[in-house]
Amino acid sequence: MFKSGFVTIVGRPNVGKSTLLNLLMGEKLSIVSNKPQTTRNNIQTILTGEDYQIVFVDTPGIHKPKHKLGEYMVNSAKDSIKDVDLVLFLINPDVEIGRGDKFILEQLKEQKAPVILVLNKVDESNHERVAQTLANYSKEMEFKEIIPISALKGKNTDKLLELMIESMPEGPKYYPDDMITDVQERFVVSEIVREKALRNLSQEVPHGIAVEVIQMKQDDKGKYNIEVNIICEKDSHKGIIIGKNGQTLKRIGETARYELEKFLHAKVNIKTWVKVRKEWRDNPLFLKELGYKKNK
């Protein structure tokens, strides 16, 4: 019997959703950083085994939105729990249930799909905390399964995958064997650059950044020439992104190039420009241009 279905991964920002998705896929398809609100779009990936196919959806962390971009992100995550076969609700060993998780629990109670409670980052915690957190959450609603894991260390994640496969209904192979994601190559390129910007910047700058690929061409030797705009919200941010003697921008470009070459399996030449667009996160037209629009 062939089993297949859709699984969405939801949770607060920074709990490790994208890290888990990448681990399950065995490939980095969703960017990861230690800053909350890293993921901005629903990212669909496809894991095909001998007798199963699971379509995963990595979602933006659910939070209280402060601008239109945030609203888009939270709506994307909320939409993802409609019409799926299974929801993974990722939490951290926080013991107390915070406002954010309470809000997510409300959404989960309103939908029909079974929910697996996944407590991530057990490597950072102790047995007691983990047990107490799980006990507190399991009072809130009926979970199909409850499992503590570490997405970073790959602990208990095989077991989680087994549980997911068990939960899948009988179904067809929706996608061909070799298809692992539905996102465009250009999107992944912009995300890789955004990840490097997030990782090389601190404080308030990263959240106001977007990356636009303005050119991506392969020459006759197979080398990619890529040009990107790094968009930020303020002139002062532009200065921070560029850094003293252009050092920061240079580091962003170099670390991005390294990863782009791995992703594209080719040599890469990258040019980066920094542009200021005041309050772009509240500009509907510009959000649309960047692909942050509904039902993408």
Ligand X SMILES: Nc1nc2c(ncn2[C@@H]2O[C@H](COP(=O)(O)OP(=O)(O)OP(=O)(O)O)[C@@H](O)[C@H]2O)c(=O)[nH]1
Tell me the closest approach of the beta carbon of residue 63 to Mg ion, in angstroms: 12
Q: Is 18 in the site for Mg ion (CB under 5 A)?
A: yes
Contacted entry of Mg ion, ligand X, none for residue 190, CB cut-off 5 to 8 Å set by kind: none
CA–CA dist 243, 118 (Å, integer): 40
* 282 annotated ligand-binding residue: no
Query: 106 vs 124, which CB is nearer to ligand X?
Result: 124
C-beta of 108 vs 216, nearer to ligand X: 108
Q: State yes or no: 61 annotated in a binding site.
A: yes
**123 binds, options Mg ion, ligand X, none, Cβ within 5 to 8 A by partner type:** ligand X
Which residue lies nearest ligand X, judged by its C-beta?
61
> What residue 106 binds from ligand X, Mg ion, none (CB within 5 to 8 A, per partner kind)?
none
- The verdict on 120 binding Mg ion (CB under 5 A) reads no
Q: How far is the CB of 32 from ligand X (least distance, A)?
A: 4
Shortest separation between residue 120's beta carbon and ligand X, angstroms: 5
Among 4, 33, 39, 76, binds Mg ion (CB under 5 A): 39
* 38/167 with CB nearer ligand X: 38
Half-sphere exposure of 240 (CA within 13 A, CB side): 19
In the complex, least distance from residue 266 CB atom to Mg ion, rounded to whole angstroms? 27
Please report how close the Cβ of residue 96 comes to ligand X at its closest, in angstroms. Answer: 19
The smaller minimum CB distance to Mg ion, of residues 38 and 133, is found at: 38
Kindly tell me which of 3 and 12 has the beta carbon lying closer to ligand X.
12
- Alpha carbon 254 to its chain's center: 22
Q: Which positions touch Mg ion (CB under 5 A)? A: 17-18, 38-39
Can you say which residues are annotated as belonging to the binding site for GTP?
11-18, 58-62, 120-123
Please report, in range form, the residues annotated as the binding site. Answer: 11-18, 58-62, 120-123
